[in-house]
Amino acid sequence: MARITLENIAHSYRPKPNGLDDYALKPLNHLWEHGGAYALLGPSGCGKTTLLNVISGLVTPSQGRVLFDGNDVTLLPTEKRNIAQVFQFPVIYDTMTVYENLAFPLKNRGVARHEIDRRVREVARMLDLEASLARKAHGLTADAKQKISVGRGLVRVDVNAILFDEPLTVIDPHLKWQLRSQLKQLHHDLDITMVYVTHDQTEALTFADKVIVMFQGEVVQVGVPQELFEHPRHTFVGYFIGSPGMNVVPCTVEDGHAIVAGHRVAVKAAAARTPLQGKLEIGIRPEFIALSGNGAGLPVRIRRVSDLGRYKIADVELRDVPLKVMVSERAVIDGDQARIVFDPLHLHLYADGHIVEEPGFEGAPS
């Protein structure tokens, strides 16, 4: 059982990296608390899997240290690290029975036979694999195979953490939910650190207590789902999490106000920090824009309204800036002219993609 510390870890797959762009994983520090359920969320190729492999030891990082409970394990081979990893495509040993598959990691480590038997049966019970213990693993369904992969991690009593690398990719949708709940239950019962890599925000947000969002080899935000939703620290987080994603609109800043498509919009962050540098944008989620037929607010033209069942999404244009607005299912939208009001609490200012913090903001605990 351990807490895992990543100290200034970075990795490049090139032998001689030339500048930061050659790094699949840009320098980062992170602490994985013992017993936490983490999700690594990001698009394909953002470095999630690399980060995971650094923890498990399949990849030795170009720089930095990996510590388990304060002990440096950076150069320790995978099999000595007490880490289990479940891969995207189920890995099973075809010629063995389910029982032998589950016993394999223990057998390799020279565990006594009766102890192996006890562990295998216990794990099989946890994963509902008891009925198929005696049959060959070859020819099982994808979800059963993936359960075996998880089981091979769980049988080891000494395992520090289980790493999941997009484990549900090949599972049928209706079983995905079931398997994910089972994993969540296991995490609850077993007090094991779990790190779950995915590019599916629903998976990440339902599985994890804490979500780490990665983008282009960088960790852009670490937080609980609510923080990611209400306070995206990077435009990418705003765009990637939520459906539809956050509206990100280029702006300029003039005496404490943001100028968006010629309109002055009050943004707290703009008042505090001057001068602001880089590409400036404001970000606001469709949920936090109110649409009204008339009255106060900025005039917009409604292009299209899509009814998603529980709510509607209105595509509007503020001059020529497209925005998405979430409207309640019962709202009546007449004509193509309307006005919008931004919720000032959820209107953020970004410089070069990164949030400009409001004055007095303490920063989210990470």
- Applying CB under 8 A, the residues found at the interface with other proteins are 53, 56, 58, 77-79, 83-85, 87-89, 91, 93-96, 104-105, 108-109, 136, 138, 149, 152-153
The CB-of-81 to other proteins minimum distance in angstroms stands at 9
The CB-of-101 to other proteins minimum distance in angstroms stands at 9
Give the three-state DSSP class for 298. Answer: strand
Closest among 300, 291, 293, 297 to 320, alpha carbons compared: 300
Residue with Cβ nearer other proteins (105 or 232) = 105
Residue with Cβ nearer other proteins (63 or 82) = 82
Residue with Cβ nearer other proteins (109 or 303) = 109
The CB-of-83 to other proteins minimum distance in angstroms stands at 7
Q: Are strands 71-72 and 83-86 parallel, antiparallel or unpaired?
A: unpaired
Provide φ and ψ at 322, rounded to 5°: -75, 140
Q: How far is CA 115 from CA 92, 102, 122, 187, in A?
A: 22, 13, 11, 23
Residue with Cβ nearer other proteins (197 or 205) = 197
The CB-of-58 to other proteins minimum distance in angstroms stands at 5
Which residues, 6+ apart, have CB-to-CB distance to 313 below 8 Å? Answer: 244, 286, 305, 306, 324, 325, 326, 327
Residue with Cβ nearer other proteins (118 or 138) = 138
For tokens 């949708």, the residue is 173
Residue with Cβ nearer other proteins (19 or 139) = 139
Render the burial of 120-159: b for 16+ CB within 10 Å, e for the rest: bbebbebbebeebeeebbeebeebbbbbbbbbbbbbbeeb
The CB-of-109 to other proteins minimum distance in angstroms stands at 5
The CB-of-132 to other proteins minimum distance in angstroms stands at 15
Tell me how far apart the alpha carbons of residues 56 and 213 are, in angstroms, rounded to a whole number: 19
The CB-of-190 to other proteins minimum distance in angstroms stands at 18
Residue with Cβ nearer other proteins (6 or 92) = 92
| Side chain identity at residue 237, one-letter code | V
Cα 194-222-167 angle, rounded to 5 deg:
35
- Report, in angstroms and rounded to the nearest whole number, the Rg of the chain calculated over CA atoms: 24
